[in-house]
Chains A and B, each alone.
Chain A
């Protein structure tokens, strides 16, 4: 039996080398954490993806920062231990090779390991679940009857239609015109109604922090509030066939007044086409084999019985739940 082995089992003595190792490592982790955490919160956070163009994006940024802050003490501990082991416990050159002490169970180490890992995992679980729910679904698709909805009574609905292989958008509060351009007003709650005319696509508006599946004959609703103007990248995030990789385009968040004039202009310009489109509806039912007669008729008429924003009087009369009007947007309320 070696001297070290005896020391370890005695334990508790102040000059115990094991204690010394632990104390030093703990100090390194503590100091490292004290330095890194404020850095993450005050310096790194604002640069975290996907930015803060919407409330959902800012929520993503907050979540990513908090989770990084939770993980960083663990990373520091692992790196510190590796470095310490390599430097302090290095085998001296030329010294004879001696077997180390046998490893026995250590209740203190086991208990604290179990406690700490459980705490970290449970923390991530509780925090993640809360964050997913509370900011109106965190920008994710909530299905046709969203459980978590914004309290704002002015919500601009924008329909997102996926089809092999391009996104188009319909604006029901502007006569239901259809366009390939995604233009959104700043400082406004948006309700994305995502659907598909063929296979499953996924609407991923990166800088908006919004991602929602586009299923045929499903009205997948995702909410977010814009809070910065700028460019938006939209990608399809569900492998949908040969041109899936080309299924992206760019959108813009602009001031309310420029949005309003764009929308009115486009509504007017697209009027001849809009007349030929099926009446605006939350979903459309294409035939299974498009070649057999696949024009897409409405299946759920607009407006449907969605519950968000109820009680708000629609300025256009026929649009319950949607208070964002031409006037409301340009004049500000």
Chain B
């Protein structure tokens, strides 16, 4: 092989290698959980039923030990994502199946139900404030959309029932859980972050790393479209 040919071969290999690295990095960087769409086929004026669950350990994927939210897609399948698309100016009736134990709130302020009128119920009982200062009973997570003024403390599975706790998602109502319901209006067309205000990222600084700072686990976006 001539010198020129050998050089060409080396250059081609280097270029292919670089391309693969760039592709890999960009794929990783651009990676996002899927968006579950509640707008297609939605009849204007009809409420949207949103069913979500919170689990202590997701049990699969790159971080099986992390706490997480899951959402039930319109086809009835549980999807591991925190990106939801809902229609504007629509009542969203939310049902949360909460399967996790309590973590004390850093700020009891987030134990107060805010922004959903008196629609909040835990296992059918109306509540407006949950004392959230112990691990024995209290709040497991919150569902909060600060710019809509919404804060929903999710009543935890008491530690006395930890034997029946679900260890891997998606969890089924046979495991110990709390059923929480509330309703809110999606408002005009916009995009809002939502997050959990419980420092539930155990082992990270201030409990606010890991699942608390990864989209798909303890925070995501509410995409409100026309």
Specify which of B104, B106, B108, B149 is in contact with A198 (CB 8 Å cutoff). B106
Chain B's nearest CB lies how many Å from the CB of A30?
53
Supposing A164-B212, A290-B207 touch, asked if A276 and B111 sit within 8 A by C-beta, the answer is yes
B62 within 8 A of A: no
CA–CA, A287 to B155, complex, Å? 22
Supposing A166-B146, A293-B104 touch, asked if A198 and B199 sit within 8 A by C-beta, the answer is yes
**Chain B 117-141: CB-based contact to A (< 8 A → 1; otherwise 0):** 0000000000011011101000000
The answer to whether A166 touches B197, judged by C-beta atoms less than 8 angstroms apart, is: yes
The answer to whether B108 touches A290, judged by C-beta atoms less than 8 angstroms apart, is: no
CA–CA, A273 to B133, complex, Å? 13
B89 within 8 A of A: no
List residues of A (253-300) whose CB comes within 8 Å of B's CBs: 270, 272-273, 276-278, 286, 288-296
Chain A's nearest CB lies how many Å from the CB of B151?
9
Residues of A with C-beta under 8 A to B213:
241-242
Supposing A166-B146, A242-B213, A276-B129 touch, asked if A290 and B109 sit within 8 A by C-beta, the answer is no
Q: Please indicate which of the listed interface residues A161, A197, A199, A276 has the most CB atoms of chain B within 10 Å of its own CB.
A: A276
The answer to whether B135 touches A290, judged by C-beta atoms less than 8 angstroms apart, is: no
B195 within 8 A of A: yes
Residues of A with C-beta under 8 A to B144:
166
Return the chain B residue nearest A277 by Cβ: B108
A163 within 8 A of B: yes
The answer to whether A243 touches B195, judged by C-beta atoms less than 8 angstroms apart, is: yes
The answer to whether B219 touches A273, judged by C-beta atoms less than 8 angstroms apart, is: no
The answer to whether B205 touches A286, judged by C-beta atoms less than 8 angstroms apart, is: no
Chain A's nearest CB lies how many Å from the CB of B3?
46
What DSSP secondary structure best describes chain A's contact surface?
loop
Specify which of B111, B133, B195, B200 is in contact with A291 (CB 8 Å cutoff). B200
CA–CA, A276 to B105, complex, Å? 12
The answer to whether A291 touches B107, judged by C-beta atoms less than 8 angstroms apart, is: no
Q: Please classify how large the interface on chain B is, using the bins under 10, 10 to 19, 20 to 34, 35 or more.
A: 35 or more
A97 within 8 A of B: no
CA–CA, A274 to B109, complex, Å? 8
Return the chain B residue nearest A240 by Cβ: B208
Specify which of B106, B133, B149, B203 is in contact with A197 (CB 8 Å cutoff). B106
Residues of A with C-beta under 8 A to B215:
242
A325 within 8 A of B: no
The answer to whether A288 touches B108, judged by C-beta atoms less than 8 angstroms apart, is: no
CA–CA, A198 to B207, complex, Å? 9
CA–CA, A278 to B197, complex, Å? 17
CA–CA, A199 to B213, complex, Å? 14
Supposing A180-B149, A198-B208, A241-B213 touch, asked if A168 and B203 sit within 8 A by C-beta, the answer is no
The answer to whether B129 touches A295, judged by C-beta atoms less than 8 angstroms apart, is: no
The answer to whether A278 touches B205, judged by C-beta atoms less than 8 angstroms apart, is: no
Chain A's nearest CB lies how many Å from the CB of B120?
14
The answer to whether B106 touches A286, judged by C-beta atoms less than 8 angstroms apart, is: yes
B85 within 8 A of A: no
The answer to whether B212 touches A278, judged by C-beta atoms less than 8 angstroms apart, is: no
CA–CA, A289 to B202, complex, Å? 7
CA–CA, A288 to B204, complex, Å? 9
Residues of B with C-beta under 8 A to A272:
128-129
The answer to whether B112 touches A273, judged by C-beta atoms less than 8 angstroms apart, is: yes
B103 within 8 A of A: yes
The answer to whether A291 touches B207, judged by C-beta atoms less than 8 angstroms apart, is: yes
**Chain A 229-252: CB-based contact to B (< 8 A → 1; otherwise 0):** 000000000000111001001000
CA–CA, A28 to B17, complex, Å? 61
B72 within 8 A of A: no
Residues of B with C-beta under 8 A to A246:
146-147, 193
CA–CA, A292 to B202, complex, Å? 7
**Chain B 193-226: CB-based contact to A (< 8 A → 1; otherwise 0):** 1010111111111111000111100010000000
CA–CA, A273 to B107, complex, Å? 11
The answer to whether B146 touches A294, judged by C-beta atoms less than 8 angstroms apart, is: no
Supposing A164-B212, A294-B207 touch, asked if A273 and B199 sit within 8 A by C-beta, the answer is no
CA–CA, A165 to B105, complex, Å? 14
The answer to whether A288 touches B111, judged by C-beta atoms less than 8 angstroms apart, is: no
The answer to whether A290 touches B206, judged by C-beta atoms less than 8 angstroms apart, is: yes
The answer to whether B199 touches A291, judged by C-beta atoms less than 8 angstroms apart, is: yes
Contacts A294-B106, A295-B106 aside, 4 further interface pairs with beta carbons under 8 A come to A289-B207, A290-B207, A291-B207, A295-B105
- Interface residue ranges, A against B (CB under 8 Å): 161, 163-166, 168, 178, 180, 197-199, 241-243, 246, 249, 270, 272-273, 276-278, 286, 288-296
A/B interface sample: 8 pairs, CB < 8 A: A199-B205, A242-B215, A249-B147, A276-B129, A288-B205, A291-B203, A291-B207, A295-B105
- Interface residue ranges, B against A (CB under 8 Å): 103-109, 111-112, 128-129, 131-133, 135, 144, 146-147, 149, 193, 195, 197-208, 212-215, 219
